[in-house]
């Protein structure tokens, strides 16, 4: 009887440790997924900015353009692009991204020079 109780306690401790490790792995996998989604959003925003930069630099009352990312199948994501001219007559695009999964949200903002 004592051996059975000790075995149950040991199994309980192992289950507790394994549950903690599983939570850590889940957090890390969600983080890696969000980083990949952020890279995809950044690349899409940059491609859009390069394609549409001459059109949007003419007249834009609201410089921040929200892009529709529904077809990318990234749940809880948003993408905004701001194109503006710099002092040396070059265009730069500021790309703001946001994506979430579970309780984690990853937001980012990068600026690229475009020709």
As a whole number of angstroms, the distance between CA 66 and CA 78 comes to 8
Per DSSP, the three-state class of 65 is strand
**What per-residue confidence (pLDDT) applies to 60?**
54
The proportion of the chain whose per-residue pLDDT surpasses 90, expressed as a percent, equals 54
Give how many domains the chain has, as a whole number. Answer: 1
What is the residue range of 62's domain? 2-114
Best CA proximity match to 114, nearest among 71, 31, 57: 57
Taking the model in full, what pTM does it have? 0.77
pLDDT digits (tens, 9 = 90+) for 60-75: 555 888 998 888 888 8
């Amino acid at each position: 009887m004592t051996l059975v109780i000790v075995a149950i306690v040991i199994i309980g401790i192992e289950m507790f440790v394994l549950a903690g490790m599983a939570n850590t792995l889940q957090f890390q996998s969600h983080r890696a997924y969000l980083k990949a989604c952020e890279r995809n959003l950044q690349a899409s925003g940059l491609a859009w900015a390069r394609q549409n930069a001459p059109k949007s630099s003419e007249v834009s009352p609201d410089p921040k353009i929200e892009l529709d990312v529904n077809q990318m199948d990234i749940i809880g994501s948003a993408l905004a692009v701001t194109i503006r001219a710099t002092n040396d007559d070059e265009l730069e695009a500021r790309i703001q991204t946001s994506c979430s999964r579970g309780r984690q949200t990853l937001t980012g903002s990068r600026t690229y020079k475009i020709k």
